[in-house]
Chains A and B, each alone.
Chain A
Amino acid sequence: MKHAKTATQNACKLCNPLGACLAFRGIESCVPFLHGSQGCATYIRRYLISHYKEPIDIASSNFHEETAVFGGSHNLKIGLKNVSDQYKPHVIGVATTCLSETIGDDVPGILREYKKEFKNGTPMPILIHASTPSYQGSHIDGFHAAVRATVKTLAEKGEEQSLINLFPNMVSPADLRYLKEIFADFKAPLMLLPDYSQTMDGGPWGEYHRIPPGGTPASAIVRAGSATASIEFGSTLEASKSAAGYLAEAFDVPRHHLSLPIGIKESDKFFSLLETLTGKARPEKYEDERRRLIDAYADGHKYVFEKKVILYGEEDLVVAMTAFLSEIGMTPVLCASGGKSGLMKKRILELIPNMDELEIKVREGVDFVDIEDEAKVLKPDFLIGNSKGYTMSRKNNIPLLRLGFPIHDRFGGQRMHHLGYRGTQELFDRIVNTVIEQRQNASSIGYTYM
C-alpha cells in the first residue's frame, strides 16, 4: 500500500555541517568547529568515526539558552580561543548549524572582531567560515561549501605557475591517494583539496597528536589562484557553489568540470584532460590498468549483463555509477538520492542519451522507505549504495553492494577505491563476485567452480 508521506523516514542523506567537518579535515593542521549546540559536533564525530575509525575532534561553541537569545558571538570567541590554546591549529574551519543560522549570527563579523580582540594572544590561526544551515540541502552541500569557503579565504592571485587544482568531491581516502599517485606519475604539480587521505586513514601514533598529520597546507591553497587550471569532479556541482567556480570567477583559472571518473569512458575523459593540461602522455602504468580492466570486463560480462540495480547515495556518485553500470550492460532501474539538486536526471541523460529506452528511473529527494517501495515493484537483482540500505536489503532479501559513505557495517570503507581504472576494477570485481555468490548460494548443487 502506498502511503501519504510528509515525514522523511530512514533518510538517504545527512545534514549540511557533516560534510563541512569532513572537508575541513582535509586541510593541514585544521580543527573543524561547529557554531551551534554541543550535540551537532558529538553526533557528527560519532558518525564519522564509525566509518573512518580515526579520531576526529570537532569543536563546538556549545550554545546555551542565553546564547540563543543574545547571540553566539561570545561563545564563538571563547571557543576559538580555547581551540587555539588547546590544539594550536594553523587553521580553524568554522561551519554554522541550523541554530546559529536561524538566530542570524553574523559569523564573518564575529571572526573579524575576534582577530582584533585577540591579536596579542596566541598565534592567530587562519579562520575560515562556511555557511552550512542544516535545513538546506544535505551533507554534500556542506562539503562543497567548506571547500569553496577555504579557497575563497586563502587563494591569491600570483604569477601563473605550472599547477593543477583538483577538487575531487567527497571520495574515499584511498581514492585521494590514487589521485595523488596519478599526478605524481604525470609529474604534474597538484593542489588537491580536500586531502583527508592521511587524517582520516592514518597510521599509529608514537606520541599524542592534537591534530593528526596530513592534509593540504594552507600555503598550497594560497597558490590555487595562480594555477593553470582546476579540475572538479561532480556532475551536479554547479560553478556558483564550487571552489573551481570561484577560482574561475575571481582569478580566471579555467574550470574543467567532469563527472566522478568511474568506468572506462569517464576515466578516459579524466586522463585525456590530464594529457591535455600537462602536455604529456599518460604513463604506461595506467595504460596497463586500463587494459586489465577491459580484459576483466570481457571475463565478467556474462555475469552482469542486464542485471537490474537500484543505485542510491549522493547525486554525483549515483550519476557516475549509472554511467559505469550502463557501459557494462547493467541496468540501473532506479537512480535515487536524498539530495535535491534538480540536475540528476539531466546529467544522467547527458551521459546515457538512451536512458529512457533503458528504462532508467531517476528520483531525487527520496528516503529509504521510498526506495523500498520502488524496490518492491522494480525487483532489482541488487542494491548499490552506502551501508544505510542494509535495513531494506535484509528485509526484502536483496543483496547490497556497499560503496561510498557511510559504511558502518563493514570493515575498510575508507580504503575502498571508486575512481579511475583502479577503482573501477575494484568495483567491477566486487559486483561480479556479488552475482557469483548469489548464484552459488542459490544453487542446490554447491558448485566449486563458478
Chain B
Amino acid sequence: MEQITILEGRQKQIFEKKKGVAQPDIACDTSSLSGSVSQRACVFCGSRVVLYPVADAIHLVHGPIGCAAYTWDIRGAVSSGPELHRLSFSTDLQEMDVIYGGEKKLYHSLIELIEQYKPKAAFIYSTCIVGLIGDDIEAVCRKVAKETGIPVLPVHSEGFKGTKKDGYKAACHALMKLIGTGAIDDISKYSINILGEFNLAGEAWIIRKYYEKMGIEVVSTLTGDGRIDAVRRAHGATLNVVQCSGSMTWLAKEMEEKYGIPYIRVSYFGIEDMSKSLYDVAKHFPDRPDIMEAAKQIVCEEVKTLYPSLQKFKKALTGKKAAIYVGGAFKTFSLIKALRSIGMSVVLAGSQTGNKDDYARLKEMCDEGTVIVDDSNPVELSKFILEKEADLLIGGVKERPIAFKLGIGFCDHNHERKIPLAGFVGMYNFALEVYQSVMSPVWQFAPRKGGTL
C-alpha cells in the first residue's frame, strides 16, 4: 500500500509518544493551513454552537442564506419549554444588499421576527460578508432593543476573523452582557452555574438532577435548555462549574473578575470524571458535609448498578483500539479514561481546538505509541487509523464516513447526538454504542477484515 505522507506545514501539529525520543511541544492554537481540509469550522460556528441552545431567544443570522441553512436544527440540544432555537432565521442577503448595505433589511427582519415570535432576547450573528460591507450592527441592535424593550445582542462572528475559538469568545461576550441584569436576592449560598453543557439529548437535565440531589441550587445552565432570564441571574451563583472548557473558560474567567465567582473545570463523561465533578463541587462547600455525603451516596448508588452492566461490554471490547478526534481536548481526557474502563486502549487522540496545556496533559495520559494530532484532516486521520489498526473512531458527522469506509466502528460524540453520553447513564449508553458498533458482524465483509472488494 502507498505511504500516506503528512503535509510539510502540518508536521509540528502531530506527535507520537515514544520512549527515549525528545518530546517537543505540539504546535496548536494556530489557524488552519490553507488547503489542508481541516475538520474545523469557522468563527460563526463557534458562536452558533455556544448560543444555539438558548431556547427563548431568536437567533438571526445576518448574511447570505448558507450560514443559517446549514445550522438549522442541526444539534441535539433539547428544551423543556420554548423551542425558538430550532428555527432558522436569516436576512438572506442578496447582491443588492451587499452593494447598498444590509442594515435596513436587518432592522425590518428583527422588528418583524420579534413581533411574530415574542422572544425574550435576540442574538444577531454577523457572517463573513457583514464584516466586509461594514453594516453597523451595533447601532441597529441598540435601536431595535430600544423600540422592542428586549435585549438585542450582536455577536461578532464573522467567519474569517479568527478560529472557532474566537467564535466561542464572541458568544460569551454576548452572554456577559446579559449576566448581571437579573434579580439574585433569593439565590442560595449553595449554588452553581453549569457552564459548557448544551443539553444534548437532555444531558444537562441528568447533571442538574445530580447536583440538586446533593442539595445544590443550579442557577443557570449555560447554555443547555437555556433561558434568558436564567442567564441574567447567573452572577448570583457561588461557583461556576465549567465543562467543555474550550468554549466557556473565557466566560468563567470574566465572571470571576467581574463578580468574584470562582470556577472549576469538570467533565461528565465516564465514571471517574463524572464522580469527580460531583466531589469537586461538594468540596467547594466544606461547611456543609451533607453535600459531600450526598455526592458519595449518588456515586455509590449509580456505580452499583452501572458497573455490573458494563462488564458484558468490557469482556467483548478488551484489547480493542480506539481513535479519538473531537472538538475540544478536555473531552479527549475523559474519553481515554472511559475507554480504558471498558478495556479499550487509545491509539490516536486529537482535537480541533486544544491548547498547549491540553496537549501536554494528553501526552502524559496517553500510552506509548499513541499519536496526538491538533487540527487534523481526513488524510491524516485515515493514515493513523490504518497504521495503528484502530477498531473504533470517536468523532462527529464529518469523521463518520472515514470510519465506515475503512471498515471500523464509530461513535458519534458530537453535538448532533441523540443519545445522552454524559452522566452515569451516559457512560452506559456510551459503552453500549461502542459495543454495538465495534462488535457488529457487518465488518466481516469489509475488505480490510477479509471481505472481498
Interface residues of A (CB under 8 A from B): 3-11, 13-18, 33, 36-47, 49-50, 53-65, 67-68, 75-76, 78-83, 85-87, 97-99, 102-103, 133-136, 138, 203-210, 388, 391
Contact = CB atoms under 8 A, between A and B. Distances in A.
B112 to A, nearest CB: 5
B159 A204 contact: no
A243 B358 CA distance: 51
B122 to A, nearest CB: 11
Contacts, number: 249
B60 interface: yes
Given A14-B69, A133-B64, 13 more contacts: A4-B112, A5-B112, A10-B72, A11-B65, A13-B65, A37-B160, A38-B159, A39-B41, A55-B378, A61-B34, A86-B37, A207-B448, A391-B86
A38 B40 contact: yes
Contacts of A55: 378, 401-402, 405
B35 A10 contact: no
Given A15-B66, A61-B34, A208-B406, A135 B129 contact: yes
B90 A7 contact: yes
A309 B56 CA distance: 33
Given A40-B159, A98-B63, A136-B94, A6 B109 contact: yes
Nearest to A58: B37
Nearest to B33: A82
B36 interface: yes
A44 B67 CA distance: 10
B88 A59 contact: no
A122 B70 CA distance: 35
B168 interface: no
A400 to B, nearest CB: 15
For the side of the interface on B, what is the size category? 35 or more
B300 interface: no
A98 B87 contact: no
A92 to B, nearest CB: 9
Contact of A62 (B5, B33, B93): B33
Contacts of B400: 49, 53
**Which 5 pairs show the lowest CB-CB distances between chains A and B?**
A39-B42, A15-B66, A79-B35, A82-B35, A206-B447
Interface stretch (B209-217, B230-238, B310-318, B379-387): B379-387
Contact of B36 (A45, A68, A86, A205): A86
B44 interface: yes
A65 B156 CA distance: 13
Given A33-B35, A39-B44, A43-B45, A8 B160 contact: no
A102 B129 contact: yes
Nearest to B443: A204
A3 B65 contact: no
Given A46-B70, A49-B400, A55-B401, A39 B379 contact: no
A38 B32 contact: yes
Contact of A8 (B7, B89, B447): B89
B355 to A, nearest CB: 18
A134 B65 CA distance: 7
Which one of A59, A83, A135 has the highest number of Cβ atoms from chain B below 10 Å of its Cβ?
Answer: A135
Given A7-B113, A86-B379, A208-B4, A50 B68 contact: no
A337 to B, nearest CB: 13
Contacts of A18: 66
15 contacts: A7-B109, A11-B72, A11-B90, A36-B128, A41-B37, A46-B398, A49-B401, A60-B32, A60-B34, A60-B37, A64-B160, A82-B9, A82-B34, A98-B128, A98-B129
A267 to B, nearest CB: 32
Nearest to B98: A135
A64 B31 contact: yes
A175 B48 CA distance: 36
Nearest to A56: B401
A7 B448 CA distance: 50
Interface of B: 1-2, 4-5, 7-9, 31-45, 60, 63-74, 86-95, 97-98, 105, 108-109, 112-113, 115-116, 127-129, 131-133, 159-163, 377-379, 382-383, 386, 396-398, 400-402, 404-407, 445-448, 451, 453
Contacts of B37: 41, 57-60, 83, 86
Contact of B112 (A7, A38, A43): A7
Contact of A14 (B70, B74, B451): B70
Contacts of B162: 64-65
Which one of A9, A57, A75 has the highest number of Cβ atoms from chain B below 10 Å of its Cβ?
Answer: A9
A78 B162 CA distance: 18
A55 B397 CA distance: 10
A154 B378 CA distance: 29
A295 to B, nearest CB: 37
A38 B35 contact: no
Contacts of A7: 60, 89-92, 109, 112-113
A39 B31 CA distance: 12
Contacts of A206: 447-448, 453
A14 B69 CA distance: 6
A351 B92 CA distance: 32
A47 B88 contact: no
A40 B66 CA distance: 8
A41 B66 CA distance: 11
A207 B1 contact: yes
A45 B398 contact: yes
Nearest to B113: A7
Nearest to A207: B1
A9 B159 CA distance: 21
Contacts of B40: 38, 42
B7 A85 contact: yes
A97 B32 CA distance: 18
A67 B158 CA distance: 13
B132 A99 contact: yes
B64 A15 contact: yes
Given A9-B89, A47-B70, A65 B160 contact: yes
